[in-house]
Structure 1
Amino acid sequence: MYSYTYSQKTGGILLNSTPTGFSKEPRPVYAAELDLLGFDKFWEYDKQNDIPYMWAEANAYWYRGVCVAKLKGGNLFNAPEIIIPVNDNGESILPEPNGKALQVVDVNAMVESNREMLDIIEQSTVKKIISVYTKYKDKLDLFHVAFSGGKDSAVLLDLVKKALPLGSFVVVFGDTGMEFPDTYDVIDKTRQMCEADGIPFYIAKSSLEPQESWVLFGPPSRALRWCCGVHKSAPQTLKLRAVTGKNDYTGLAFVGVRSEESAKRAEYDYENYSKKQRGQYSHNSILEWTSAEVWLYLYANNIMINEAYKKGNARAGCLFCPMSVKKADFVKQQIYPREIKTYLDIIKKSNGRDFGGNSYLADGGWVSRRSGRDLIDNVMNCSETLKDGMLTIKVTSPRSDWREWIKTLGNFEDIPFTIEQQSNNYLVKLPESYINKNPTFRKLFKQVFRKSAYCVKCGVCESNCNSGRITFDNELKITNCEHCLKCHDIVDGCLAYNSLRIPTEEKAMSINCFDSVLPKNDWFNRFFNEKNDFWNDHGLGPNQLKTFKRFLKDAGLTEKNNYTALAEQIAALGWETNTAWGILLINLATDNPQIRWYISNLEIGMNYPRETVISMLLESNSSNNVVKFVYSAFGKLMELPLGATLRFGYVTNEGNIARTKCSISDLRVILYGLFKFAEKCNNYKEFTLASLISNGIDRDGISPTRIFGLDREDVTPMLLGLSTKYPEFITVSFTHDLEKITLADYKTSADVIELFSEDSGNEQ
């Protein structure tokens, strides 16, 4: 909530009364961390771990208001380099004069100096918790605190205990099985305290152990985060069903999410519905708190601190996570070598590509996996082909019975498919004419057999079914299915299939479309002013001309170097506007491999260090010469209106690249993206909002939600607005659990472009 400075007097944090614009997420630094990183070679300090010595902000270390060190580099196996800053005389800056021992933070004095501000923060947060409880207490089945053992959830639990009456909530720890060993100690002590206070404390855990699931699914990655559903969301849903005794319970979770943690979380609201878990409410009670306030509250209220933080971990989440950064991996590898080795061994054994040495692990290549292509001994158990008017699905060694899964489609006896049994394998055939009449059905039909081939009883389908029709005792059983299709509302229909599938089409084209030469704003300005005359006296060098021609062609602005009708429309809209660049970005996402790679691989709100991007590019079979061009090109592209106006992304001061939610002021851009998406997906023009958000229609096209970084809350009012304004193009139905989006069969993306010629102004 508030900005802060460092106090020379206490060595601690001092809150200011001005609201914070941006927090660097300070955290206390203890002797254990200093020892692990090698600071004992530079400074003297007692080896106690009860009281911190200084504070860290990312890779910078602050002692009583002075930056005394920075870290650079490092990876899983190599410690980051310690850089000691120097003064104007070239002398190293020392925390204490003449190399004296470090002083500990005066925690008590720090707390007292912030007491008034802490009281205000606490009172305002408690009021929010009471308010949302009062609002829903007679409407919901359950309130629970989502407890993780980390600092944020510890503060949240303490606040909820102060705000709500005994017996009004329970505590649930989602045990992924991959928690820090220190976290389990916190869980045991917190459970004992809750039980002593009469607060029910539950542990939700998957039936699959992580060492088992990592083998069954392949190691998780940034693009294949099956682990969250399998080890967090699904077990918690199933546990709360057991607690309430209701399959269709509706509850509210108090969650310790804070906006300062990431750009994506900065867009969260205090209260939301179905954003974290479908059909459930969440309240992010400490959303506006900074880590400075969290740490001050912990010290002020004498709340137990997870020892993992004292050892140098900035977060206490999963032990080995693909979303982690290299310095954090090094710290965890040093502290918990035996536990980390378990996962390293699985990654090594599963890696079907020879990267040499430990580079695949050290450089983070494993976090970039996007399919099952590079998993050793991985074969497709479910393959799909469309040939000679027939969809043929081959299932090899199925893990579950298709006869159960097909019940989810309703009256399947009228579906003209055949099954040819071949020992333990079978072939499924369905006429293309049938699926052409039922485009949405095609996806669902495929998913039935993907589930049959790959189901590992992970519990996600079961948790999605809030009528309790799916059970996994000894085997899969679906009874009295209501055909809500929620068990299909999973990427590719099955997380195991999604993680293990082998792409049938490997694209040989290079993603390096621009080398080191990127288009410039003055080139576009001249192009739109001079039109076809631009080529007569363009003044560009050979490589510049080649690059610009490629960009214009892929953006749809030229065809055989001739100025197109779309270019005329873009010029009329104003080529520097976000509307114009929204249209161009949709075309580039369709036809330009490099832009498509950025969109497909870079998640909204995440900062990607250079080393991570290079590892991701290498995993995509790109050469060393390609990766440096594709990485550096991102920053140059962001100098165009693509970054400056549309806000596609940016480059941080540290050289990290990031994608952000785009700024779209005209809803017709979204409509254009929907039609381009549908046309790329075999012209299927009927889909659900869930499939639109997950980009789950056969992956041939890229959804405008993915292109522009839009979530469910962003796109729902946009779709409703479009259906109201342009009913001849799109109809939308959001009733009960039905989320149906239908595009007009007789309309095309070209027809949408004609809408921009109308004098209708921007759609807000």
Structure 2
Amino acid sequence: DIPVEIHWCSHCRVPVLQEVSQADKGICPRCGSKMKYMSTDIRPVFPEERLLLEILLGRKPNEYKDKSVWAVNSRYYIDGKSVSLPKALFKTADVETIAHKLEENKAGNNYDAFNETIQRFVEANNTRLHYLKDEAHEFVKHEAAKFPQENIVISFSGGKDSTATADVVIKALSEPSLVHIFGDTTLEFPYTTEYAKRYREEHPQAIFKVARNNEQVFMDVCEDIGPPARMMRWCCSMFKTGPITRVINSLYRNQQILTFYGIRKSESVSRSKYNRVEDDAESVKIQQQTVASPIFFWKDMDVWLYLLAEKVDFNEAYRLGYDRVGCWCCPNNNQRAQFLSRIYMPERSRQWRDFLIDFAKKIGKPDPEVYVDEGSWKARQGGNGLPAAGSVKIKFSNCTSEEHAKIYRLERPFDDELVGMFVPFGRVAPELGQKLLREVIVLDPRSNVPILSIQPFDHDGYEHAVKVRTMNVADHDDLQRMVGYQIRKFNACRKCLKCESLCRAGAISIAGDYYYIDPDKCVHCKMCMTAKYLDGGCTMDKYLRTK
């Protein structure tokens, strides 16, 4: 993790990345000219985005065709001179007129000058490129040596980082037949879907698995619990982590695997706190894997240097100006990304905005259009205004006739699914309960002593209820707290698949609308009922909690 800076060589007309402490810092390694400081990171601007920039600046189309254009966020460098686009421009620009001008002038656009610039760029950063490749290859070999080759997986998202990671790993291990898992969230850019198809064709020996949640429809879930927000991205576990977990379970059952990810420290504040290799239960979203990141310390410029120098095919969305290509409607997308989607995905963008406005009206926002256009929906927290919010509230009464017994309200009738949710506590033994009362006893997994009694119950004010009594334990309140977590799951479960990802033993599965814990696989670790790993015992508590 060595500090670096990017300098501009006005003679070569390219950025050069150098270590802050190196002796010849500020001297171009290609031509020997003195350079000036530029920024901490940079990305190339492809001809398609350059044409858009010219239109936004009111310049003649293709005016900058022969210039070297680079960018970081909304700041552009045209032959080293800085031009910044105001954020307000992305909100107010006439996207229909811009789209028309782009279509009208794309025929006169070409890659001749851009390709020459990239050749000089690679030559000027050749030392850096060799360092990146050598270091990443050594890292990959070192980590891969700890696992059988068949237990090595590449996480493939279709973005530039996962593309670079996949290429590095395949070349480092000289193994083109590694398992790739592509998490198709159903919210991918069309360009990502096209690229994933191209990648499969270009890597015919790779075992390419697509992880997709075919049981949930994103918009239906949005209607129920509201759209994802920055602090409430329920979509990640439901449409990405959960489906990937299912693919991993189908391939490896309960074996530990090594997954190479394209995570980089400089991407965000949260990712800067990660380690290059993670296997800690609190840090890894899928418990069955150790995560390793060969490009963890790379800058944006490093990724592009690698892809362009190695001539690796990549997602076409980057040519249009997107600097990240996750879900196209992600609440983490900035105004610039939303602006690009209004140009290149106009129909989807209109439909999404219409939905957000309808949602804002439903939860009682006084000015729905402002709420949406200002991006306030991204900061939404909890389930205020949503009927579904009531399902996460644990309602109970203390039993007056039995000590350490609580009567919990249920959203639906007592059934085998609810009984199955008590498997993590120990051995579920219905044969030991009073049959006339439909009582089920749960035995401690170590001592075989009864610790829970469960039975359906009629209670005033509750349409459906269950009575749970704790026994033979030192801390009755702690045990009842975990019981409450399972009751919340039963009432509020939206099949988000978070529990599946959390279970190291692969014991939890969602089959249709049925939440199932396999008693033969469950190791009674109670991670799925521990607030440290699952706040409130159910992910929906975070998304639907109200003040």
Name the TM-score class by shorter chain. Answer: 0.7 to 0.9
2:269 aligned counterpart, secondary structure: coil
1:26 is aligned, of 30, 39, 42, to 42
Change (3 A) 1:238 1:357: closer
Contact 1:370 1:499 in 2 (8 A): yes
Decide which of 5, 10, 22 is 2:7's aligned counterpart: 5
Q: How does 1:197-212 map to 2 (within 5 A)?
A: 198-207=205-214, 208-212=216-220
User: Which residue of the partner structure matches residue 105 of structure 2?
Assistant: none
The structure whose RCO (Cα within 8 Å, separation 6+) is larger is 2
| Structure 1 position 166 matched with structure 2 position 166 | no
Segments of structure 1 that go 5 or more residues without pairing to the other structure are 81-101, 507-764
Deviations 1:111-153 (A, max 9, x none): 122223312221121111111112x134x86111111111111
Q: Would the aligned equivalents of 1:435 and 1:442 in 2 still touch at CA under 8 Å?
A: no
Pick closer, same or farther for the CA change 1:313–1:24 going to 2, 3 Å: farther
The answer (yes or no) to whether the contact 2:226–2:383 under 8 Å persists in 1 is yes
Measured after TM superposition, the shift of residue 498 of structure 1 is 3.3
State the partner residue of 1:242: 250
Q: Is the 8 A contact 2:421 2:486 kept in 1?
A: yes
2:544 to 488, 495, 500: 500
Q: Where in structure 2 are there 5+ consecutive unaligned residues?
A: 23-36, 95-111, 401-405, 429-439, 442-450
| 8 Å CA contact 1:399, 1:455 repeated in 2 | no
Retained in 2: the 8 A contact 1:260–1:288?
yes
What is the Cα deviation at residue 304 of structure 1?
1.6
In the other structure, the counterpart of 1:718 is: none
Alpha-carbon distance change, 333 to 40 in structure 1, aligned in 2, over 3 angstroms: closer
**1:141, 1:250 within 8 Å by CA — same for their partners in 2?**
no
Match of 1:213 among 192, 207, 221: 221
Measure, in 1, the Cα distance between the counterparts of 2:63 and 2:266. 32
Matched, 1:78 2:85: no
Residues of 2 paired with 1:30 and 1:288: CA distance?
24
Residue-by-residue CA offset, 1:706-750 (whole Å, 9 max, x unaligned): xxxxxxxxxxxxxxxxxxxxxxxxxxxxxxxxxxxxxxxxxxxxx
Aligned mates of 1:165, 1:224 — CA distance in 2: 40
Q: How does 1:112-261 map to 2 (within 5 A)?
A: 112-134=123-145, 136-138=146-148, 142-166=151-175, 169-195=178-204, 198-207=205-214, 208-244=216-252, 246=253, 248-261=254-267
- SS state of the match for residue 380, structure 1? helix
Task: Tell me the alpha carbon deviations over residues 488-507 of structure 1, each in whole angstroms, 9 at most, x when there is no partner.
Answer: 34232222343224x3xx4x
Equivalent in 378, 381, 384 of residue 370 of structure 1:
381
Is the CA contact 1:3–1:18 (under 8 Å) kept in the aligned structure 2? yes
| 8 Å Cα contact 2:153-2:180 kept in structure 1 | yes
Moved more, 405-414 or 426-435: 426-435
Closer, same or farther in 2 for the Cα pair 1:478/1:296, shift >3 Å? closer
1:172-571 alignment to 2 at 5 Å?
Answer: 172-195=181-204, 198-207=205-214, 208-244=216-252, 246=253, 248-274=254-280, 275-276=283-284, 277-351=286-360, 352-375=363-386, 377-378=387-388, 380-385=390-395, 391-397=406-412, 401-410=417-426, 411=428, 413=441, 414-415=451-452, 419-421=456-458, 425-429=463-467, 437-474=475-512, 475-480=514-519, 481-488=522-529, 489-501=533-545, 503=546, 506=547
User: 1:184 offset after TM fit, Å?
Assistant: 1.0
Q: TM-score, normalised by structure 2?
A: 0.77
Offset at residue 163 of structure 1 (A): 0.6
Residue identity (%): 24
Paired amino acid for 1:445: V
Relative to 1, partners in 2 of residues 1:128 and 1:148: Cα closer, same or farther, differing over 3 Å?
same
- AA partner of residue 86 (structure 2): K
Q: Which residue matches 1:594?
A: none
Deviation string for 1:482-530 (max 9, x for gaps)? 43323334232222343224x3xx4xxxxxxxxxxxxxxxxxxxxxxxx
Is the Cα–Cα contact under 8 Å of residues 389 and 433 in structure 1 kept in the other structure? Answer: no
Q: How many residues align?
A: 474
TM alignment of 1:643-658, pairs within 5 A: none
CA distance, structure 1, for counterparts of residue 63 and residue 239 of structure 2 = 37
Contact 2:398 2:407 in 1 (8 A): no
Change (3 A) 1:47 1:471: farther
User: What amino acid does structure 2 have at the position aligned with 1:419?
Assistant: P
Match of 2:76 among 23, 48, 61: 61
State the Cα deviation string for residues 593-623 of structure 1 (Å, max 9, x = none). Answer: xxxxxxxxxxxxxxxxxxxxxxxxxxxxxxx
Q: Distance in 2 between matches of 1:52 and 1:443?
A: 65
For residue 336 of structure 1, report the CA deviation from its aligned partner: 1.5
Structure 1 residues 424 and 187, CA gap change in structure 2 (3 angstroms):
farther
| Alpha-carbon contact 2:68-2:117 (below 8 Å) kept | no
Structure 2 contact 414–466 (Cα < 8 Å) conserved: no
Query: In the alignment, is the contact (CA less than 8 A) between 1:273 and 1:280 conserved in 2?
Result: yes
317-326 or 434-443, which moves further after superposition?
434-443
In structure 1, what residue type is equivalent to 2:71?
A: A
| 275-284 or 3-12, which deviates more | 3-12
Number of the residue aligned with 1:728 = none
Q: Deviations over 1:404-426 (max 9, x none)?
A: 21233225625356533589941
